[in-house]
Amino acid sequence: MNSVWNGAGRRIHLQEVGTRDGLQAEDVFVPTEDKIALVDALSEAGLAKIEVTAFVSPKAIPALRDAEQVLREIRRAPGVIYSALVPNVRGAERAIESRADELNLVMSASESHNLSNLRMTREQSFAGLAEVARAARGAGVRVNISLSCSFGCPMEGEVPLSTVLDWCGRYVEELGAEGVTLCDTTGMAFPTHVAGLTRAFRDRWPGTELTLHFHNTRGMALSNVLASIDAGADRFDASFGGIGGCPYAPGASGNACTEEIAHALDLMGYDTGIDLPRLIAAAARLPGLIGHDIPSQIVKAGRRLDLHPRPGDFEEIRARALGR
């Protein structure tokens, strides 16, 4: 059976964004040594890439004001790519000094979203990204560009496929980006759309690393991952514990949860490289550090074959039934 329902050992790369995308949304400051321990635990859990932190203004995001120290003091596992989000050249310089393997740059496919979030037009953002990409190239550091609202904008609605592909083309062909991430910023992606956009990207830029970044806001994250795999993708962002992802609606989920995606893909026979018990243990530390419950259904319910004991009086029940 060669279908998406049977992984048959195919390699899927899971990329962790929780220590950046998750922790930046928290009110509490997670102590630096705990952040480092979390990243080290994620390295040991087999993530292919870890977006460790963001080099942004400490005033704007105090939760990540220890970016340098975290990125410098983590234990680097061979083969794992340690990336950092950077908003501008100053951030890029800090990240490069702290030995980031990859810089992740962000803009939005939607003009309204880009203006609202970044206070620039998309063209202004692109010009900024080009500067950062030049700095990265000078330092021999990889560049990935994350395109928010690739599957729809919460203010504008539909974002045309052609708009998304036009921006991707400029990242790959003008900036020479090694990777592009199509982000479902507010959980608007659905499988039909995802399959179409994934296939269009793969057909045009087969040599570019493509990541899909889904949110589970409307319960479609795993199905979107599967539709995307079926259309040729093999690389996904997710957040341990399901933390972060700026949900628009109170109580709604944000980022796809790494252990939920890994648990499902492992059962389906994909090779995620993930050590699930280690990953679940890392996620289970989060509530104590951030002070609230986390969305992860796997932390709550356990793995599929984590069994429950029979009732204490099971043998009596059986004896009574058989005695009828």
Q: Which residues are catalytic?
A: 246
Contact set for its own copies, span 2-41 (CB under 8 A): 3, 5-7
> Of the candidates 2, 140, 322, 323, which one interacts with its own copies according to CB under 8 A?
322
- What torsion, rounded to 10 degrees, do the Cα atoms 294, 257, 296, 153 define? 60
Contact set for its own copies, span 145-164 (CB under 8 A): 152, 154-158
First to last CA, the chain: 46
> Of the candidates 140, 162, 192, 206, which one interacts with its own copies according to CB under 8 A?
192
Residue 205 or 270 having the CB closest to its own copies: 270
Contact set for its own copies, span 81-110 (CB under 8 A): none
Contact set for its own copies, span 268-297 (CB under 8 A): 268-269, 293, 297
| CA pair distance 177, 93, nearest whole angstrom | 17
Q: Give the interface segment with its own copies, choosing from 37-45, 58-66, 211-219, 283-291 (CB under 8 A).
A: 211-219
| CA pair distance 235, 11, nearest whole angstrom | 9
| CA pair distance 307, 62, nearest whole angstrom | 42
Shortest reach from residue 279's CB to its own copies, in Å: 14
| CA pair distance 126, 195, nearest whole angstrom | 26
Q: Judged by CB under 8 A, does residue 312 bind its own copies?
A: no
Residue 60 or 317 having the CB closest to its own copies: 317
Q: Judge residue 183's burial from the number of C-beta atoms within 10 Å of its C-beta, 0-12 exposed, 13-18 middle, 19 or more buried.
A: buried
Q: Judged by CB under 8 A, does residue 305 bind its own copies?
A: yes
Residue 179 or 247 having the CB closest to its own copies: 247
Which segments of 174-220 does DSSP mark as H helices, in order?
191-204
